[in-house]
Amino acid sequence: MELKLDMIQTVGLAVVVYYLGVYIRSKVKVLEKFCIPAPVVGGLLFAIVNLILRENGILKLTLDTTLQKPFMLVFFTTIGLTASLKLLKKGGLAVLVFFLCTVVLVLLQDTLGVLVAKAVGANPLLGLIAGSVTMVGGHGTGAAFGELFEKSYGFNGAVTAAMAAATFGLVMGSLIGGPIGRKLIVKNNLKSHASDYLDEVAITTDVVNYEEMFKTFTVIIISMSLGAVLELWFKSKNITLPSYINAMIIAAIILNIGESTGKYHINQKCADILGSIGLNVFLSMALIGLKLWELKEVAGPMLAILIVQTILMALFAYFIVFRFNGKDYDAAVMAAGTCGFGMGATPNAMANMTAISEKYGPAPKAFFVIPIVGAFLIDFTNSIIITTFANFIK
């Protein structure tokens, strides 16, 4: 039996699967503890059921994922709307130092990934997929670059491999972050000195209503549209970047022009809501479309790469992040946070740091620096580095 869903039906299925993931996560506490996203929970379960039905000749499902890219662009455009130069200036040297550490991490993840992939006889692009594409990049970047690798580089199963690698990273990043932070604190007898660091982030007074939501949505659509034009310009210069990077660039420009001139203000609460909608639908669509039967050829090599990445992350957080960010209490908390977004996503970083700060005390510097770098700065840099590696090894 064969069943084909059109693009609207596919979105409907994705939303249902999202809420299935929400329900399962509420019942299985370990999933919530490790911050596994609801789209991943529901999407992977659906993908497994789909695999069983297909392999047993019961049902062959075809999905129309036309709307997957627009939802992806909405999410990444809202990230661009957080790129305030005023906010970056407040972080000062701390943001710069941690950002440079993260750039080194990205380079190491991709270099090791490609080397291990070649050593085990796998496609070098798999090394990138199990490198910073999904480790620092997470599910969102993994799905975006996975699609790019499949269409532009002929790497079949890239999206499936990316989702598997990103899920592995989420779990491992959550598992190793807390113990590493605790070890550093206990070993060095570190104490919280929250009053020594002035948290200058203003409390937002943005309101959420129809008018504000539609204004924010308008900015997002304009950014996506102008991003498409920018993408054409880059292509004319033989520069290949994922579509979402162009939209992020335009969004960041719009935000900072508005802040510098005082002509308009981006409602961050509305942007967060719209971004969350875009991310959840995008990921759900990406995961229900997983072709797990294509994962057989890469499962073994990918696991080898991911084990190496886990070791790298633990060593890097313990010896590099802690040392170069002050060797104090906040640096220890930042080391735990780096494991979170260095192998998963910024929410994982916040979860790791929250668990430590609840036990040992506040770490305002860590909670200020990590989101700025993890949720925005490194996304641009990571995409450029991945693209450079991909063009070099293809």
pLDDT at residue 223, as a whole number = 96
Residue with tokens 């989702």: 163
pLDDT at residue 201, as a whole number = 42
Token code pair at residue 124: 């070098």
Cβ neighbours of residue 102 under 8 Å, at least 6 residues apart? 136, 338, 342, 373, 374, 377, 378, 381
Q: How many domains are contained in the chain?
A: 1
Confirm whether pTM is higher than 0.85: no
Token code pair at residue 329: 């209490």
Residue range 282-308, pLDDT digits in tens: 888 988 887 777 666 667 889 999 999
Q: Is 383 part of any domain?
A: yes
DSSP for 301-314? HHHHHHHHHHHHHH
269 compared with 368, residue with greater pLDDT: 269
Instruction: Please say whether the beta carbons of 132 and 385 come within 8 A.
Output: yes
| For residue 313, pLDDT beyond 90 | yes
Instruction: Please say whether the beta carbons of 30 and 273 come within 8 A.
Output: no
Q: Is 168 part of any domain?
A: yes
Q: Is 310 part of any domain?
A: yes
pLDDT at residue 392, as a whole number = 85
Of 29-38, 68-77, 340-349, least confident by mean pLDDT is 29-38
Furthest CA-CA distance within the chain: 66
pLDDT at residue 198, as a whole number = 44
In our burial notation (b when 16+ CB lie closer than 10 A, e otherwise), range 67-104 reads: bbbebbbbbbbbbbbbbbeebbebbeebbebbbebbbe
Phi, psi of 60 (to 5 degrees): -115, 110
pLDDT at residue 289, as a whole number = 84
Residue 168 structural domain: 68-200+280-393
Q: Is 72 part of any domain?
A: yes
Residue range 196-249, pLDDT digits in tens: 544 444 445 689 999 999 999 999 999 999 999 998 998 888 776 667 778 988
Of 16-25, 278-287, 307-316, 326-335, least confident by mean pLDDT is 278-287
Of 40, 356, 359, whose CA–CA distance to 174 is shortest? Answer: 356
Residue range 344-384, pLDDT digits in tens: 777 678 778 888 888 888 887 888 788 778 766 788 889 88
Q: Is 205 part of any domain?
A: no
Q: Is 21 part of any domain?
A: no
Q: Is 268 part of any domain?
A: no
Q: State what percent of residues in the chain have pLDDT above 90.
A: 46
Residue range 120-164, pLDDT digits in tens: 999 999 999 999 999 998 887 888 899 889 988 888 888 888 988
Q: Is 50 part of any domain?
A: no
Of 186, 177, 185, 133, whose CA–CA distance to 155 is shortest? Answer: 133
Residue with tokens 């993994």: 142
